[in-house]
Amino acid sequence: MSSAEDLEYPRLLIQYQNGFLISKVMFAACELGVFDLLRESEDLLTSKAIAEQLGSSFQGMERLLDACVGLKLLRAEVRKEGAFYGNTEISNLYLTKSSPKSQYHNLMYYSKTIYLCWHYLTDAVREGKNQYERAFGISSKDVFEALYRSEEEMIKFMYGLNAIWSICGRDVIAAFDLSLFPVIYDLGGGAGALAQECVSLYPNCSVTIFDLPKVVQTAKKHFVSSEERRITFHEGDFFADPIPEADLYILARILHDWADEKCVQLLKKVQKACKTGGGVLLVETLLNEDRSGPLESQLYSINMLVQTEGKERTPAEYSSLLTAAGFREIEIKKTGKLYDAILGRK
């Protein structure tokens, strides 16, 4: 092994080891309100001023701010009085609550929920099942009873999904021309961010969000304005209850929650309900056919292990599920973003 390799291996391992520390720095700065305070401030602020306004210790805040500078989440300007801190463009855009593209709620969901499940990753790999029982002391048999174990947790999850669709939603909805499908059902549409993207891009379409009763009530209360007439709701369990007829069904980040057998079961119900000439739009993060990447998809697949019954899949695997359910003319569109789109026709 060359001297260059001798140096590279430890450096690479240290980067991986510090991945946990990096994410926790970002989570803590978000939770404490660092980025929000600096966005609202007209001037750069000292660590002392930030600590005082956020009610934290000076020594702790100074170290946190310096780490954020190292991560390029903050910028620092050294003056006679000391260091002054401000947001970078990326933190203003994605880490402040008031930004239209804010990822704050998604990051808080990672910090408070996903991280606790990942603490038991070794057990998940040994057992091949999710870790809600160990992480939260609740049964892991019903995935969404665990995910929605309280109204607070459900709202946090829904805000997190909306945050993701604020940066990825338009791309997947625009991947195919959906104006051909005037009546659309968004199965598991949750807080309605994709439905809102859909009616915005295709004003002649109507979208019905089909989700569990408590999710629908929360969406109506917190997320979707009653003045938006093109978005309606249907309460139910799409595995147990009938699926109404429509031109198109959107399943966004749905199939990755379930094993193959359950996916085919759901897709067959959708295919039976679908109008002739209609279709189904799958929105998922896709693995390469040889499973060599992308790294984000590989990590998300592990997340499905610790949190759900499902996994991330390759385009060929999703095509096989659609074919088994009776769909044809399957098309795959890569968006260049985190999520891609697959359209199957009846």
The reported pLDDT for the residue numbered 225 is 87
Percent of the chain with pLDDT over 90: 84
Q: Where are the beta strands (DSSP E) in 13-104?
A: 45-46, 74-79, 82-87
Q: Which has the closest alpha carbon to 248: 116, 346, 115?
A: 346
Amino acid of residue 177: D
248 pLDDT above the threshold of 80: yes
Q: Residue 339: pLDDT band by 50, 70, 90 thresholds?
A: very high
Number of H helices, E strands in the chain: 17, 10
195 pLDDT above the threshold of 90: yes
Dihedral angle, C-alpha 210, 214, 215, 220, nearest 10 °: 90
Helix (H, G, I), strand (E, B), or coil: what is residue 336?
A: coil
Structure tokens of 296? 């984000």
DSSP string for residues in 258-278: S-HHHHHHHHHHHHHHEEEEE
In whole angstroms, give the CA distance from residue 94 to residue 104.
7
* pLDDT tens per residue, range 4-21: 555 566 788 888 889 999
Distance in angstroms between the alpha carbons of the first and the last residue of the chain: 57
30 pLDDT above the threshold of 60: yes
Taking all residues of the chain, what is their mean pLDDT, rounded to a whole number? 94
The reported pLDDT for the residue numbered 37 is 98
Instruction: Give strand pairing partners of 260.
Output: none
The active-site residue out of 105, 119, 222, 256 is 256
Rounded to an integer, the average pLDDT of 270-279 is: 97
| CB of 171 closer than 8 Å to CB of 335 | yes
Q: Residue 138: pLDDT band by 50, 70, 90 thresholds?
A: confident
Q: Which has the closest alpha carbon to 191: 164, 166, 216, 226?
A: 216
The reported pLDDT for the residue numbered 5 is 57
The reported pLDDT for the residue numbered 6 is 59
Structure tokens of 49? 């001023």
* pLDDT tens per residue, range 78-92: 998 889 999 999 999
Q: Residue 1: pLDDT band by 50, 70, 90 thresholds?
A: very low
Q: Residue 260: pLDDT band by 50, 70, 90 thresholds?
A: very high
Contacts of residue 170, defined as CB under 8 A and 6 or more positions apart, other chains included, come to: 197, 201
Instruction: Provide φ and ψ at 278, rounded to 5°.
Output: -80, -165
Percent of the chain with pLDDT over 70: 97
Active site residue 256: yes
Rounded to an integer, the average pLDDT of 188-208 is: 96
In whole angstroms, give the CA distance from residue 62 to residue 60.
6
Instruction: Please give the model's pTM, rounded to 2 decimal places.
Output: 0.91
